[in-house]
């Protein structure tokens, strides 16, 4: 993911933000599984900002506010 952002930067677009949206798993209750452990890893690999989009992973709007980790905390550097 970080290399993709760097590629876009190298072609002149300076407005790049990386976004964790979830990964496909065998879970059937939600669309994707949100991989919060990827956020600090990607933050160490790049200087680009990293945000989290729980709505894509959850797939059901009413469940987003009840996500266990607020995305604005997960994406913020320590």
> What confidence tens digit (pLDDT) does each residue in 5-36 have?
889 989 999 999 998 888 888 888 877 888 88
Quote the CA–CA distance of 19 and 5 in Å, as a whole number: 10
What is the widest separation between alpha-carbon atoms in the chain?
A: 40
Q: Specify burial of residue 75 (Cβ count, 10 A radius: 0-12, 13-18, 19+).
A: buried
Please indicate whether residue 78 or residue 44 has the higher confidence score (pLDDT): 44
Of 54, 65, 57, the residue nearest 25 (C-alpha) = 57
pTM above 0.85, yes or no: no
pLDDT > 70? residue 1: no
């Amino acid at each position: 993911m970080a290399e993709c952002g760097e590629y876009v930067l190298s072609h002149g677009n300076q407005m790049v933000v990386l976004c964790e949206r979830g990964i496909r798993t065998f879970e059937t209750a939600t669309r994707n599984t949100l991989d919060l452990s990827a956020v600090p890893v990607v933050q160490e690999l790049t200087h680009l900002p990293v945000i989290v989009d729980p709505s894509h992973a959850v797939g059901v709007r009413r469940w987003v506010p009840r996500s266990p980790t607020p995305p604005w905390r997960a994406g913020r550097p320590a």
